[in-house]
Each structure stands twice: as C-alpha cells, then as structure tokens.
Amino acid sequence: MALKIVKGSIDRMFDKNLQDLVRGIRNHKEDEAKYISTCIDEIKQELKQDNIAVKANAVCKLTYLQMLGYDVSWAAFNIVEVMSSSKFTYKRIGYLAASQCFHEGTDVIMLTTNQIRKDLSSPNQYDTGVALTGLSCFVTPDLARDLANDIMTLMSHTKPYIRKKAVLIMYKVFLKYPESLRPAFPRLKEKLEDPDPVKYLGLLAMSKILKTHPKSHKCNIAKVSKQRDYASMQESLRRCDFFAVKYLGLLAMSKILKTHPKSVQSHKDLILQCLDDKDESIRLRALDLLYGMVSKKNLMEIVKKLMLHVDKAEGTTYRDELLTKIIDICSQSNFQYITNFEWYISILVELTRLEGTRHGHLIASQMLDVAIRVKAIRGFAVAQMATLLDNAHLLTGNTQRNGICEVLYAAAWICGEFSEHLEDPMQTLEAMLRPKVATLPGHIQAVYVQNAAKLFATVLQKHEGETESQAAQETSQLLIDRLPLFVQSANLEVQERASCILQLVKYIQKLQQKNVEVAEEVTALFAGELNPVAPKAQKKVPIPEGLDLDAWINEPPSESESEDEKPKAVFAKEEPKHSRSRHTEVDEKELARRREVRKQEQANNPFYIKASPSSQKVYDAPGVEHIPVVQIDLSVPLKVPGMPMSDQYLKLEEERRQKEKAERKKEKKKKREKRGKERKADSGPESEEDIAPAHQVDIVTEEMPENALPSDDDDKDPNDPHKALDIDLDNLLSGFSSRPLADSEKLPVRTHRPELLKSPAEDRDSESVPQETKKKSGKEKKEKKKDKEKDRKRSKEEKKKKKKHKVEEELLESQPEEAVQSEETKEAAAPPTSTSAEASDLDFWLSSAPVPPAAQEVTAPSSAAAAVDTSSATAPESEPDEPKDTEPEDTKSSKHKKKKQKKEKEEKEKKKKKRHHHHHQHHGDAGGEDSVQNGTVEEEEPLPPMSNYSLLAENSYIKMMKEDADQVYDIQGNHQDESKVVVSVIFENKSDSFLKSMEFNVLDSLNSKLQRPEGAGAHDSLTVPFQLPPGVSNEARFVFSVQSIVMPQKLKGTLTFIVKSDESSTHEKLDFKLHFTCTSYLITTPCYSDAYAKLLESGDLKGSSLRLEGINMPFHHLLARICFHHHFSVVERIDSCASMYSRSIQGHHVCLLVKTSDQTVSIDAKCDEPSLLGNVLDEIKQTFSKC
Amino acid sequence: MIKAILIFNNHGKPRLIRFYQYFAEDMQQQIIRETFHLVSKRDDNVCNFLEGGSLIGGSDYKLIYRHYATLYFVFCVDSSESELGILDLIQVFVETLDKCFENVCELDLIFHMDKVHYILQEVVMGGMVLETNMNEIVAQVELQNRMEKSEVSDQ
C-alpha cells in the first residue's frame, strides 16, 4: 500500500493530471495561450510513452483543451489506443475523447470497428455501455453498417441498462445506414413490449422514425405516447416555471391554429398585447402566431399595429424581425390577404424610413414583385418610386442606413421599366443622374445607368413629332454631361454600361441635330415585357437528349478567382412565392364595364347610402380627394402631412368595405342574382370571401416552361436527414400481400470474428438471450429431424410400393415433404420462402455468434446449410489452416446426398415453378449464404462449407489471412474513375512471443495504391493498430484505391514486426503478395429477370464463353460456388440451366448463362467490358479446376 | 434531438460542451460565444426559451436554458423535443450533479469536467434523452466509479 502511494506520488511528480492542468491554466491568466502550448508539448511527450495510464491521462487533458477550442485531432490515433485499453477507467477516457472530437472525416475511425465490436460484446456491461455511448456520437455509415447486427443483438441484452442504450442508438444507426431499418424494425417493435424505461426509449426512437411514416402503427404508438406524455407533463408541471407558461401558451396556440384557426383568432388582442412583452422570446412567438392568423379582414389592422411597434422597437434585431414579419404576413400565399395594393406599396415605402435595417433587399424585392405582377398598380407604384428616387438623399444621406439603399435598386428599375406611367420622366431622369448616385453600391449604380437609358427612350418618344425638339435635345445633353461620371466608375458593370450608353446617346444627339426621328429605334432597345417566372421553373425544363449537365464544358477554373469583381446577383434569389394565383383574371375592359354597371346601379338606387359627406371632412388635407379608391391611374402624393399614408388607405378601405356591405345588403333585398365570379362563397355577411379587393388586380401568373410536369416531390427537402428513412415499413408486418424482407436487406454479418479467445462462459454471459433461443431451436431441430427422417423412410417405402401410380401419390407425398423442407430451411438459415419465417429470420441473424459446437454437431447432418452459414463465422478458427480451396466435403452429409439423388428430378413442374418464383425474389447480396440457401430450398442437398479467407503469407511467427475481398465497395462521391477497395487481413500470432509494432506496407502500382493517412509519403508503411499476444489473432482493414478494375492485380507487400520474448526482441519481416482478382471487384447484386432480359436485349454487352469438362458436382453446388466465390446472384433457374448476374464496383454488368449436361458445364457470358469478362471467366475456370 | 449541451459561467467561460453534431473547434467556440451573448442579456424573470441562434440549427432550433447561480445550462434542441421536458431534464441533471458532487458548485465542474461528462452520458446519449430518473442515474454513475476504484486498487 505504501509502495503504491509512493508510486502514485512519483507519477504525479512527472505528469500533470487534469486538475493540475486546470489549476495551471487558472494561474496563468495573462499568458494562458503560452502556458497551454507548453502543456500541449508535455502531452505530446506523454503520448509517446508506452504506459497506458500516462497516455490516458494525456488524452483526458486533451479533452479539456478541446473544450477551450484547441484542435486535438492530431491525437486521434492515441485516443484510439486509449479506447482499446482493457481497463474500464482508461477505456472510458478514450471513448469520451473520441465522442468529443471524432467525426465522419476522422480517418482513424475505420480502425475502431473491431475494438468497438469487442467492447459491445464485452462481459462487462459498462464496457458495452461506454462503447454504445461513444458510438452514438461518432457513428459513421461504415460503422453503422458493420456494427448494426451487433447492436441489434444488444437490444435483447439481459441488462435493461444496455437494452436502453442499444434501442436508442438504433435510431442513429438507421440514419447512417437506412438499409438496416427494415430488418431491424420488427425487433424495435418488440421493444415496445419491454418494461417501462426501455419501452419509452423504443417509442422515442420509433416516433422519430415514424415522423416519416405517419401511417404505420399509429394506434400502438398513440396509446403509449399518450401515457408517456401525460406522465411527463404531470412531472414537468410540478416544477414548471411561471415564466414559461406564457411562452408555452403561445406555442400551444400556434399548434391549435393549424387545426382550429377560428378559436385562436378570437384572442387576437391578447396576442397583440404580447408584442409589448419585455421578453423577446415571447414577442417573437407572438409575431409568429400573427403570421398564421391574418385574414383579408384583419390584415391591415394587424399590420398597422406592427408598424407602431416598429417605431417603438429598440434594438435592430427585433425591429428587423418585425420588418420581415410584416413583409411575410403581407406577401404570404401570393398576396392572398391583400385587398388594396396601394396600401401595401405605401407600407413598403414607409418601411424604407427605418434606420439601419439589414432588410433593404427584402423591401426592394417586394416592390419589384408587386410592381411586376400586379399590373393595375404599376402607375401608382411608379409615382411612388419616382418620389423615392427624388428623395434618395434621405435614404443614402446617412452611411449607417446602408442596407436600405437597396430599395433604390427597385425604385430605379420600376421607374425605368414602366416609364410610360411616369408623369415627368425628365425630372426622374435628372434625379437618377445626380452626382450623389456615384456613392451608391456598384450594382445599384449599374441599374441606375441602365434605367436612365430607358427613361431617355421614353422622353424621346414623348417629344417626338414636336416641332421644337428642345426637350429631347436637352435630355441628350443631360446624359452626355452626367454619364462620364459613371464611365469612370471603379465598378466594371457600371463602367461598361455607362460607356455603351454614353456613345449611344452621343450618336443619337448627332442624329437629332440632323432632325432624324430616332425615338422608335431607341424605344425598340427596351421593348418587350418581363414576366415573372414560376419558382422551380428552371428545374422543370426537360433536359434535352444527349446533354450531360455534369460534364465539364471547360476545365474547372482555378479557385483563386477574385470575388470582389463578380457582380453581385442581388435579387437572383428572390422568387415569387407560389406558383398559382388565386385571383381570377379579369381583363381591364371587363373591369371597367363592371365598374360602370355598379355606378349606374348606385346612382339609380334611392336607398343606396352614399359615402357620408361628414366623414369626408376627415380627409380635408390637400390632395386627399385625389386618392384613388376605385380608379388607380391617378397620381397620389407620397406623403400627406400629419398622417402616414398607409393609415389613410386603411381608413379608405374600411369605408369601402362598409359601402360594399351596404351595397350587398341592398342587393339581397332585391333578391338579385349574385354577380361576379369572385363572390363564390356568399355564406355569411362577415365571411372572409365577402371582402372583395378594391380593384380587381391582375396578378400576372408565373411562367412555366413548356411540357413541364407538375411534380409533388418538389416539396421534399433534400437535406432532411430522415429522408433516407422513408422506407416502406407497412409491408413488413402485414401479411402476405406484403413485400417481405429480401435477402439483400439483411444486415451484414461479419463472417469472421478475430476476438475468439473469449471463454465460452463469457460468451454465454454476454449473449445469453440469443443463446437461449438457439438452444431451444436446437432441441426443436432434433425433434424435427426425427420427424423428417420418419417422413423420408415412409416416402421411400411408398415410392417402392407405388411406382405405378406415381402421379397420384406424388401429390400426396410432395406435401409433407414440402412442409419438412420449409421447416428445415427455417431452422437452417434465413429462408426466403415466406413472411412467416421472418421472426426466425431475425433470430438467425442475431444469433450469428459462434454456435456451441455441441449444437452444431447435432444439426450438422440434417442441415448442413447451417453449418455452412456458421462456418463462415467459425471456419477460420476451427479450421484456420485450410485455405479456402481445400474445403473438405462434408462426409456426414454424403449419405443424405445419395438418398436425395434418388429423388426424382421430374417432380411436378408446377411445384418447381413455384420455387423458382421464390427464388427470383430473394437473391441476396450475401453471396455464399444466399446461394447455399437456394440450394437447400431446391433439393435439400448439403453443401460443403466454404470459406472466403485465403492464406496470404505465413512464417514461424505470424500468419496472414486475407478475406476474399468481399468487402469491396465503392465509396460514393469519389473521383469518377477511381474505386476504393477494402481488404481485411487477419493476423495470427503463431509464436510464443509477443508481436508488436507491426507495420504493413505495399508497393503501389500505377493502378492500385494503398491509402495512407494524409501527410504520409507514398512509400510509408501503415501501422497495424494492435499488438498480438501469443496465439491471438486480430483483423485489420486496409483501403486501396484502384483505378482500372478490368485486369487482375498483384501487389507485393511486406509486413515488418518486432518479436518480443522475455529475453530478447528481434525485428522480423514477412513478404506477401496481395492478389486482387477481377472477381473481387464484383458485387453481388440482385437482378430481376425482366431487367435482366432488357439488359441482354440492349445489345451493349459483348459475349464470351467458357466450357468446363469433368465437373462432377450437382448443379446447385456449381451455382453456389459461382455465387460464393465470384459474387454472382441467380436470376432465374430452369432445370439444368441458370442465368446469373453480377455488377462491378464501377458499374459493369456481367451476365452468365450456365448450362450443364453430363459433367460438362458451358457458360455463356456477356459483359460491357470484354477484358473484365475474360478475366472473370478465367477465374471461374480456376475455381473449378481446383475441385 | 438535442443538438448541443453547453454549460458556461456568467462570463461565458465554457465549463462543459457537448455537441451531438459535428462542428469544428473554432465554430464550437463561436457558438458558445453567440449563445452566451443571447442568454446572458436576458433577465432572470423571463421565460427559459429562446429562438434565433443563427450559428446552430436555424429556425427549427431553440435554446432552452436555466441559470443557476454562476452557471448557465443551455440545451439546444430541435422542434421534436418538448420544451418542458428539456427544462425538466436540466433540473434532473443539475440535481444529479448536486448529489454526485455533494453541493455542487462551479469549481466542481471546473476541476472534474470528465466526471460531469460521465454523468451527462447517463442522462443524454447521442442527442437523445436516455434516463430521467435521478436515482437510476446516480446508481449507474456510482457503480462505474466503484469499478474505476477497484481497477486502481488492482494496480
């Protein structure tokens, strides 16, 4: 004990622990950065030491520094080391650090897979817990794929502590690896039956998933979630803050609003009051709510209140928020609620008076939007904009008002584009060419210059034909005088436009002096109407045939392009909000006619109460009489003394509504016919639709490209992380009409477990649940086996007896036989036969852990397929010395083979077809297993176990086994003609010494390169991330990038390592050759027969063929071998003929037609890459020549 | 989902940060600064919910926080989390800290950031609420501490 204390204090003398670090940082407040950098140097030293305790301490300190903002990713590898410590204390530190700083871009994550798997299956629940917690933070798609099955196993762990975490992490796994959702879903659903805590979490995960699946399992979820909500609400309310209530009330209202808008609208005043709350959160919530509750009736009132708040608001953030909300409220649903666009324009103009807002461009885009789309308002808008331009100094005077000058962009454009509405274009032109304009931002100046030219054209046209073209001459002179200012502009856009226009005007002036009429030509420069384009219109333009949008037109330019010089696309982003206008289009004539009719009516009607003269007194202010109510082409002064403009419109509008109401009442009295399309719903006197817009506005509809199709998937957000989870789950659970789990959907199961040194006791402990089920199924198997054998005997006898009445009897016979088959396959391996088998299916996948040898022996003869399946898991350790090609025939099964061979092949066609049908649906990606199952389904023929590990190299110290590259995959988004291949290598220590510092290196070829971490040289070796105690094996993965896959490759490599025994340590070396076969670039891909037929018909594929003589094996063995070793899947099989398919990682299709007769197998093959095909066929030939 | 959990003091010094979505270190610091800026200017007698952190999440996210003496506990969550639920969770977390550290104060968090993380790991996992029962949390934390101790004495 004393020694330990001494030791501890010595440790402390040398190393700072976390507390010391924190204390040190606090004591060095002045030179914190310097102090920390010395600490980091110390940490680097500590990380170099071998002592794991020192390393863990260093990593712990790094975690703290990470919080302070220091990048610690350089220590990622050390973190992995600490994670793999056998001590919980250090492991926990490692996982914590990893969860803080690992992310998808961290390259060492790839190295953690085995460690995490080991921890997940640790007998210590806290090791498992820590691994789950860590994994939940840094799970990547690769990790998710590799570990999904292990995690699913944990969902039935004995400890609720682990179950809880496993259930929760499944959600993350689904997000990263959506393919796992379907196979895992039933299991997740089971968890809803789990006792309390786990159930809730299962629910949680489920409800998150079901966000995308609103249909399925509603009732189940609803029931439980109600319980949960209620419980948590009660709990929460007890502690709830008083201040929260108001906020939550508003929040609740916004939810109610969606379903019961009326009931919320009655609280309008209350909500408006909340705008005065001192709490910004509450104010913003209230604003949000107002957005949802405006109607035609109350829009003006609400906006008026908001405008008051804008004036009062302190702090630009909140004021800007108000501004955007006002604009949002008004413009929502394509200006649905605006009945008076003059009012809206005035509101926009008033908003320009806001100081220092950031949202000038928002106002500007609204102005543009309204002016372009509401034709009837253009005259008014132009007048307003002209005034705005005239008073531009008010907006630009203060440099702080910068944001708002964007409005001038809109103003200048509107005045220019619709200059025919201008009363005095000359004056506006003058305003636009003032020297002060040169202080505006470049993109605005550019618009000014361009639109000055438009105005110039208008002025010319106006004065054309006048005998004295004095005015026109003056205008030209004005431009010639003023434009040089812009020609000198530093902004390219401005300069270019100005000099163009200047020369044009000079030329025109010359013509004018010769009295040539030029107006028409000049106007023609700007002729034509601009129409708004519907949002998404661009997307819907069909791509012409033969156009590849992804291809480079020119080589990509260098990154260093100067950003300053690019003209800003200021309004490019702004698009009209909705594609369809609610307003019916009525042309101007029709409008005028209706107005006329109405006036007539009013004039002739003695009961009609005209606008009371008394109320008009209110508007006695000068100029007010001219404010248009019905007609809109009269000009209106921008500001009326004493009253903000918009208020006037508000009053006028109210009056107008009164009038209309009265009118309508009168109409009703007379029982006249309803008129006008726009009065469709005349239900109640106060109903929304009753309020007709002041003038029928002709909202220009947006243009769409021809032959554009309306598509509803536009609304889906491509960035939604849940999008990937939009997987059909309903079918999984409801009966026969459904789409059952296909083999390809099963979770990938590791076919090899390097950490097999665990004692069986440990095994049982950590995986007792699946084990239990397995034992049970083992018993069942025994019984079934007996039954089956009886069956078989019986059938044999029957056959002998009744050879003559074969047809009749076979019908009877085939039924029990079939039943046996299905049961057998069920126990053997996930059978693709029916949905009912799914439960056992899952069990199988879950229990892929090594099967106790006893159970295996019992089942081996009857269902060798099981042995095969598990053999991929057990083979390497049970028969590690045998390379894949020397698999022994299962002797036990040979008896059965004979029996089965006797079985008549010409069994009912119908039956076979049925089987084939199953067959098509289920070719899987798990190559070998799949085909093996196919075999058993067909003919109950046991297959010899196959291993896909082959010996790579071996010496007296170490043995390297290479997995037969079934881990090949193509990383998406990778460079087009480069693929990545992952090679798993198992290292087994055969000596009695400790092997360490293993370094793996490969001599790169032009075509294939070992992926090394960034910064490493092209010839550097990779450190194998583990050490090997005597007798231990472990697996490491190496990534290679491969460019061309049409040729097989051989790479020379070396493994160096240190052999450390008690006395000595020596440096050793082992050379090996990595063989990349073409087969290893093929991915088992299921293919439906119709697609297959199409592929063959397409004629793009080139053929080749192969003949194998002396093949003495059943046809289904042959197929299974091709499937397993060469990654093919069976598309269709009829008797002794089968079509097979596979795809390369670079997308080449490989199709095989395999026929057999009398020990001769002919393979006709087609592929779009002849050399790839040739090599694959050679490899197939080799496979069979070895048998 | 919980997107981030931040604990900082009245001066904005981080005491614990836990992001459930990847941000680079400098971005993390910016988020802390912004969050501190948003939260610290609010009175203690206004509500505990806040929208509009521009760096993290955007409109779908809100900050739910509690202010205890010198520390702010801020949870950044998306719309799928219940506001009250999270508010309650913060309380549970703080009470757990109080139990584990015995009258927890800022100094405990300063010097034992790792332990605070371990406690938090029992409450929230990968951005999802794992456990809200304080006794259960405390029990699991203590069991793990005991394991750690036994490993130390093994040495």
Backbone φ, ψ for residue A186 (5° rounding): -60, -40
Which pLDDT score, from 0 to 100, does residue A566 have? Answer: 43
Cβ pair B113:A68 closer than 8 A = no
Reported as a single tens digit per residue, the pLDDT across A1095-1111 is: 887 777 888 888 888 77
Query: How far is residue A670's CA from residue A686's CA, in Å, rounded to a whole number?
Result: 20
CB-CB under 8 Å, B133 with A197: yes
Which of A414-428, A581-595, A627-641 has the weakest average pLDDT?
A627-641
pLDDT grade for A673, boundaries at 50, 70 and 90: very low
CA distance A66 to A223: 44
Integer Cα distance of A929 and A1123 in angstroms: 9
Measured in degrees and rounded to the nearest 5, phi and psi for residue A1150 equal -125, 120
pTM of structure = 0.50
Sort out which chain B residues have CB atoms less than 8 A from A201's CB and list them. 128, 130
For residue A913, the model assigns a pLDDT of: 44
Token couple for A1179 = 């490899």
Average pLDDT over residues A882-906: 43
For residue A1162, what pLDDT band results from cuts at 50, 70 and 90?
confident
pLDDT of residue A1174: 87
pLDDT in tens, A179-214: 888 787 777 777 666 665 556 666 666 665 555 444
Task: Check: CB of residue A985 under 8 Å from CB of residue A1039.
Answer: no
pLDDT tens digits, one per residue of A526-583: 877 777 677 677 777 777 777 777 878 777 766 554 444 444 444 444 444 444 444 4
Model confidence at A134, in pLDDT bands (50, 70, 90)?
very high
Chain B contacts of A12, Cβ < 8 Å? Answer: none
Residues 6+ apart with CB under 8 A from A281: A247, B46, B47, B49, B50, B51
How many angstroms away from the CA of A196 is the closest CA of chain B? Answer: 11
CA distance A280 to chain B (A): 8
Buried b (16+ CB within 10 A) or exposed e, A1159-1176: eebebebbbbbeebbbbb
Please report the pLDDT score of residue A4 as a whole number: 52
Question: What burial letters (b/e) apply to A785-795, b meaning 16+ CB within 10 Å?
Answer: beebeebbeeb
Report the alpha-carbon angle A327-A332-A336, nearest 5: 120
Check residue A165 and report its DSSP letter.
H
In percent, how much of chain A has pLDDT > 90?
A: 5
Alpha-carbon span A176 to B23, nearest angstrom: 18
Residue A128 pLDDT class (50, 70, 90 cuts): very high
Beta bridge partners of A1053: A1002, A1072
Residues A232, B14: C-beta atoms closer than 8 Å: no
CB atoms within 10 A of CB B59: 10
Q: What is the DSSP letter of A237?
A: H
Write the CB contacts of A23 (distance below 8 Å, at least 6 apart in sequence).
Answer: B111
Question: Is residue A400 pLDDT above 80, yes or no?
Answer: no
More confident site: A748 or B149 = B149
What is the structure's pLDDT at A865? 40
**Count of helices and strands (H, E) across chain B:** 5, 7
Name the residue in chain A with its Cα closest to that of B3. A137
pLDDT beyond 60 at A896? no
- Residue A1 contacts B, CB cutoff 8 Å: no
More confident residue, A725 or A521: A521
Sign of CA dihedral A210, B23, B85, A184: positive
Distance, CA of A885 to CA of A872 (rounded, Å): 14
For the segment A938-955, the average pLDDT, to the nearest whole number, is: 60
Mean pLDDT of A840-865: 40
Strand order in the sheet with B71-77: B14-19, B2-9, B71-77, B62-68, B49-51
- Provide the ipTM: 0.96
Q: Is the predicted pLDDT of residue B131 greater than 70, yes or no? A: yes
* Percent above pLDDT 70 for chain A: 59
Which parts of A949-1098 are beta strand (E)?
A: 949-954, 958-963, 979-989, 994-1002, 1008-1010, 1022-1023, 1033-1042, 1049-1060, 1065-1076, 1082-1083
pLDDT computed for residue A974 by the predictor: 40
| C-beta separation of A311 from A350 below 8 A | no
Contact A88 B144 (CB under 8 A): yes
Number of Cβ atoms within 10 Å of the Cβ of A481: 10
Q: Does A131 contact chain B (CB < 8 Å)?
A: no
| Residue A615: per-residue pLDDT | 39
| Structure confidence at residue B85 as a pLDDT band (50, 70, 90) | confident
In this complex, do A64 and B16 lie within 8 Å of one another by their Cβ atoms? no
- Comparing A48-52, A228-232, A1130-1134, the range with the smallest average pLDDT is A228-232
Question: What does the alpha-carbon distance between residue A486 and residue A437 come to, in Å, rounded to a whole number?
Answer: 9
Per-residue confidence band for A742, with pLDDT thresholds at 50, 70 and 90: low
Q: What is the mean pLDDT of residues A1074-1081?
A: 81
Strands A1082-1083, A1022-1023: pairing kind: unpaired
What is the average pLDDT across A1019-1023?
Answer: 80
In the predicted structure, residue A46 carries a pLDDT above the cut 80: yes
pLDDT of residue A65: 92
Contacts of A22 in chain B (CB under 8 A): 110-111, 113
Structure confidence at residue A97 (pLDDT): 93
Contact A87 B125 (CB under 8 A): no
Provide the pLDDT confidence category of residue A981 given band limits of 50, 70 and 90.
confident
Contact at CB, A243 and B45, closer than 8 angstroms: yes
pLDDT band at A14 (very low <50, low <70, confident <90, very high): low
Q: Write the residue in B20, B91, B112 that is nearest to A137 by C-beta.
A: B20
Question: A1151 or A262: whose pLDDT is higher?
Answer: A1151
Span A1170-1177, average pLDDT: 86
**Could you say which of A126, A164, A232 has the minimum Cβ distance to residue B130?**
A164
The pLDDT value given to residue A814: 45
Distance in angstroms (rounded) separating the CA atoms of residues A15 and A957: 37
A1130/A1119 Cα distance (integer angstroms)? 8
Contacts of A281 in chain B (CB under 8 A): 46-47, 49-51
Please report the pLDDT score of residue A237 as a whole number: 43
Confidence of residue B17 (pLDDT cuts 50, 70, 90): very high
Give tens-digit pLDDT for B42-72. Answer: 887 788 888 766 666 666 788 899 998 889 9
Q: Which residues of B touch A236 (CB under 8 A)?
A: 82, 84-85, 87-88
Written as six digits, the tokens of A26 are 């606090």
Lowest mean pLDDT among A1002-1016, A1153-1167, B17-31: A1002-1016
Tell me: pLDDT of A839 over 80. Answer: no
- pLDDT tier, A439 (very low <50, low <70, confident <90, very high otherwise): confident
Higher confidence at residue A1127 or residue A689?
A: A1127
Instruction: Categorise residue A535: left if φ over 0, alpha if ψ from -120 to 50, beta otherwise.
Output: beta
Contacts of A168 in chain B (CB under 8 A): 125-126, 128, 130
Q: Do B128 and A171 touch (CB under 8 A)?
A: yes
- Give the residue-averaged pLDDT of A655-668: 66
pLDDT at A96 over 90: yes
Q: Token pair for residue A519?
A: 């107006």
pLDDT at residue B78, as a whole number:
86
pLDDT recorded at residue A935 = 37
Average pLDDT over chain A reads: 69
Choosing among 3.40.250.10, 3.30.450.60, 1.10.10.10, 3.30.360.10, the CATH entry for B2-154 is 3.30.450.60
A770-816 per-position pLDDT tens digit: 444 444 444 444 444 455 555 555 555 554 444 445 444 444 444 44
pLDDT-based confidence at A604, cuts 50/70/90? low
Instruction: Decide if pLDDT at B73 tops 90.
Output: yes
Residues of B in contact with A92 (CB under 8 A): 118, 144, 148
Tell me, what's the pLDDT at A927?
39
> In this structure, what token pair is assigned to residue A506?
């000079």
Residue ranges of domains in chain B: 2-154
Residue A607, pLDDT score: 54
Give how far Cα A1160 sits from Cα of A941, A944, A1121, A1124, Å.
20, 21, 16, 20
H helix runs in chain B, sequence order: 25-40, 83-101, 106-111, 113-123, 134-154
- Reported as a single tens digit per residue, the pLDDT across A262-315 is 777 777 777 877 777 777 778 888 888 887 777 788 888 888 888 888 877 766
Cβ-defined contact of B113 to A64 (cutoff 8 Å): yes
Compute φ and ψ for A998, nearest 5 degrees: -75, 130
CB-based contact B49 A281, cutoff 8 Å: yes
A206-210, A664-668, A695-699: least confidently modelled range: A695-699
pLDDT over 80 (residue A448): yes
Please state the rounded mean pLDDT for residues A822-827: 42
CB contact set of A722 (below 8 Å; sequence gap of 6+) = A175, A208, A209, A211, A212
Q: Is A754 left (phi over 0), alpha (psi -120 to 50) or beta?
A: alpha
pLDDT of res. A205? 61
Task: Give CA–CA dist A1012/A1038, Å, rounded.
Answer: 9
